[in-house]
């Protein structure tokens, strides 16, 4: 009797999936889906309220018609570059440990083993990106000329195409086992092509044609849909290349992904950051970027000198990532300046993500509490000095964001407001990053919390730090209101900046004295018992 190995593999996976589902609480799954949908709809309708169906001016519509496709193509190029890097690091497939350690080493071909995960990945990428694109099209239809159907169609199709294109590019790179200079040269060519389109104000890159599909009511034509055929071709090549993936890298990725999921379940952001860097093979550079003389700084400010040495060891990938996030912050602020208020949330989240990179020395100190306890200084003071160093490092990042915002908006008033808001934005961003990092060995967990408040407490811990970072962009909104009224922007910006600085000072004070607070609270609880 012959056994069809592919059929046996399918039955094995179905049985394992059924057993996994039987061990899960159906009501708990339904509740999670309900909460996720509820918060998703709340965020979407909040964005709709921020848009207010206010049409944009004719100059902006004309600019989007003439230049929008090139800029959208440049953004898609960034997504493709990130996907190719993921493929070089063993992605994008994430399979179970059983498949990685046993089934991939069986007589079955890798293409047969990985065909089902590839289909699921493509469908998920197309579905999620398509839904996000449709939501963006709905928001655009409320402010742009054109019907809602046209905007939703173009944005949803572009989103789905970008999702499957990213997966396809990653599969091509991982299947052909390309890495290092080859992958870097490939995505740099893709990016350079889109940059050339932006610089010369032309549409020659296929990614720029995808931008025209996204702006379908303004510049889209039927001929531009031919780019979808190119996307399908890339996906087909990537699916066929699955046979050549590296088993070792897939196994390594499976182990790290399992640890990442556990860190997510524990809301351990610090472990999540470190695991993501391991997943991307991101290690400090062996030679520092610069060798500044620290003979005078080191003895007087040892913490600041240590932070400076840490920043000089940043790898090129982290520098590139921070630079890209800084430009994205500036573009988001430029969008806020032109009336898209909802982008303030995007600017705040991006500022928060940058702060997580900048507070790395603070995180390293928190990871080794026993070393910090041997220092002659109070631990709270050491941590605050690390935050001061992080604030200094955030200044050039904010200047890059300011340059991008001013170039995109061409507004002198925005330049003035962002320079005034530099100090408060830096303080609250650094404070937000520090609030997200759990203190190892602290007494936070020893303070009892009523069961009724456990859920809201977790939500508060997730939402609170990005909300604090968003405060740094609020002065720009006040400056925008003054500019629209024809008033000087300096006065309202300064007034709001003072408030944000006070908020940042409160965050720094909390970090400085929170250990003492929790120790006193724990002692009080023990006294009651």
Residue pLDDT, tens place only, 333-372: 988 888 777 788 888 889 999 999 999 888 888 887 777 7
Same domain, 257 and 310: no
Sequence-distant (6+) residues with CB within 8 A of 478 are 492, 493, 495, 496
pLDDT at 528: 60
Residue 87's nearest CA partner among 250, 321, 318 is 250
CB 465 within 8 A of CB 346: no
Q: Of the candidates 240, 262, 284, which is a domain's last residue?
A: 262
Confidence bin at 201 (pLDDT 50/70/90): confident
Per the structure, the complete domain to which residue 477 belongs is given by: 303-437+454-528
Averaged over 129-155, what is the pLDDT?
86
pLDDT at 157: 92
More confident: 66 or 456: 66
pLDDT at 399: 93
Task: Tokens 């049409």: give the residue.
Answer: 55
Residue 117 has phi, psi (to 5 degrees) of: -60, -35
pLDDT in tens, 281-330: 888 888 888 777 666 666 677 888 888 888 888 888 889 889 989 999 99
pLDDT at 268: 77
Same domain, 372 and 513: yes
Q: How many residues does the chain have?
A: 529
pLDDT at 452: 45
Residue 510 domain-assigned (yes or no): yes
More confident: 405 or 291: 405
Residue 281 domain-assigned (yes or no): no
Q: How many domains does the chain have?
A: 2
Same domain, 324 and 216: no
Same domain, 183 and 240: yes
Lowest mean pLDDT among 56-60, 181-185, 401-405: 56-60
Same domain, 222 and 313: no
Residue 445 pLDDT > 50: no
Same domain, 128 and 201: yes
Q: Of the candidates 247, 262, 277, which is a domain's last residue?
A: 262
Residue 96 pLDDT > 60: yes
Residue 455 pLDDT > 60: no
Same domain, 212 and 344: no
Confidence bin at 444 (pLDDT 50/70/90): very low
pLDDT at 354: 92
pLDDT at 108: 73
Enter the tokens of residue 9: 């593999």
CA dist 264 and 460 (Å) reads: 15
Confidence bin at 41 (pLDDT 50/70/90): low
Residue 285 domain-assigned (yes or no): no
Residue 79 domain-assigned (yes or no): yes
CA dist list (Å): 11 to 15, 353, 424, 455: 6, 42, 59, 38
Residue 266 pLDDT > 50: yes
Please tell me the chain's helix, strand, coil percentages from 3-state DSSP, rounded to the nearest 5.
80, 0, 20
Residue 505 domain-assigned (yes or no): yes
Confidence bin at 1 (pLDDT 50/70/90): very low
Residue 37 domain-assigned (yes or no): no
The CB-side HSE value for 44 (13 A sphere, CA atoms) comes to: 16
Enter the tokens of residue 323: 């630079």
Same domain, 357 and 242: no
CB 349 within 8 A of CB 429: no
Residue 258 pLDDT > 90: no
pLDDT at 443: 46
pLDDT in tens, 468-522: 888 888 888 888 888 888 888 888 888 888 988 898 888 888 887 776 666 676 6
Alpha helices by DSSP H, 142-246: 148-175, 181-200, 206-214, 216-219, 226-240
Same domain, 246 and 130: yes
More confident: 369 or 444: 369
Of the ranges 24-33, 34-43, 245-254, 392-401, the best mean pLDDT one: 392-401
Residue 38 domain-assigned (yes or no): no
Residue 497's nearest CA partner among 400, 387, 417, 392 is 417
Same domain, 335 and 254: no
Same domain, 207 and 76: yes
CA dist list (Å): 280 to 30, 130, 257, 311: 34, 26, 12, 19
How would you class 528 by CB atoms within 10 Å of its CB: exposed for 0-12, middle for 13-18, buried for 19 or more?
Answer: exposed
pLDDT at 402: 92
Residue 32 has phi, psi (to 5 degrees) of: -65, -45
Q: Of the candidates 229, 262, 295, which is a domain's last residue?
A: 262
CB 424 within 8 A of CB 255: no
pLDDT at 160: 92
Residue 184's nearest CA partner among 309, 29, 316 is 316
CA dist 321 and 326 (Å) reads: 9
CB 116 within 8 A of CB 189: no
Q: What does the mean pLDDT of the chain come to?
A: 80
The three-state secondary structure class of 295 is coil
Residue 12 domain-assigned (yes or no): no
Same domain, 84 and 215: yes
pLDDT at 242: 84
């Amino acid at each position: 009797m012959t056994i069809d190995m592919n059929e046996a593999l399918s039955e094995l996976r179905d049985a394992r999936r059924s057993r996994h589902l039987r061990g899960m609480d159906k009501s708990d799954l339904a509740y999670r889906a309900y909460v996720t949908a509820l918060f998703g709809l709340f965020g979407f309708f909040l964005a709709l309220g921020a848009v207010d169906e206010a049409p944009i001016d004719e100059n902006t519509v004309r600019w989007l018609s003439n230049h929008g496709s090139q800029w959208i193509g440049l953004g898609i190029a960034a997504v493709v570059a990130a996907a190719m890097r993921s493929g070089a690091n063993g992605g994008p497939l994430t399979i179970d440990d059983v498949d990685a350690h046993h089934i991939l080493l069986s007589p079955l071909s890798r293409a047969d083993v990985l065909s089902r995960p590839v289909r699921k990945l493509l469908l998920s990428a197309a579905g999620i990106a398509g839904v996000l694109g449709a939501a963006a099209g709905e928001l655009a239809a409320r402010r742009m000329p054109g019907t809602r159907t046209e905007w939703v169609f173009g944005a949803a199709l572009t989103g789905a195409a970008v999702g499957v294109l990213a997966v396809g590019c990653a599969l091509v790179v991982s299947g052909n086992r390309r890495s290092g200079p080859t992958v870097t040269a490939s995505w740099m060519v893709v990016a350079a092509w889109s940059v050339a389109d932006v610089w010369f104000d032309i549409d020659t890159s296929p990614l720029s044609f995808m931008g025209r599909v996204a702006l379908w009511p303004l510049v889209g034509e039927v001929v531009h849909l031919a780019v979808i055929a190119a996307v399908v071709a890339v996906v087909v090549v990537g699916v066929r290349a699955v046979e050549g993936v590296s088993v070792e890298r897939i196994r390594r990725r499976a182990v790290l992904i399992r640890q990442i999921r556990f860190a997510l379940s524990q809301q351990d952001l610090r472990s999540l950051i470190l695991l993501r860097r391991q997943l991307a093979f991101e290690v400090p550079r062996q030679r520092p970027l610069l060798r500044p003389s620290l003979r005078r700084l080191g003895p007087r400010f040892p913490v600041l000198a240590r932070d400076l040495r840490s920043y000089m060891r940043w790898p090129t990938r982290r520098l590139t990532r921070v630079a890209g996030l800084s430009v994205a912050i500036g573009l988001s602020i430029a969008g806020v300046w032109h009336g898209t208020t909802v982008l303030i949330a995007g600017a705040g989240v991006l500022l928060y993500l940058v702060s997580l990179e900048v507070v790395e020395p603070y995180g390293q100190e928190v990871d080794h509490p026993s070393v910090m306890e041997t220092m002659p200084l109070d631990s709270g003071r050491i941590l605050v000095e690390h935050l001061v160093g992080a604030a200094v490092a955030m200044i050039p990042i904010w200047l890059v964001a300011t340059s991008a915002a001013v170039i995109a908006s061409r507004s002198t008033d925005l330049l003035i407001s962002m320079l005034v808001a530099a100090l408060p934005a830096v303080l609250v961003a650094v404070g937000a990053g520090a609030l997200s990092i759990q203190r190892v060995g602290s007494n936070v967990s020893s303070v009892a919390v009523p069961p009724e408040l456990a859920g809201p407490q977790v939500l508060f811990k997730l939402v609170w730090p990005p909300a604090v970072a968003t405060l740094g962009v609020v002065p720009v909104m006040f400056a925008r209101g003054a500019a629209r009224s024809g008033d000087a922007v300096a006065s309202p910006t300064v007034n709001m900046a003072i408030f944000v600085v006070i908020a940042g000072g409160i965050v720094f004070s909390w970090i400085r004295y929170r250990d003492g607070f929790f120790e006193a609270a724990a002692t009080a609880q023990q006294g009651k018992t």
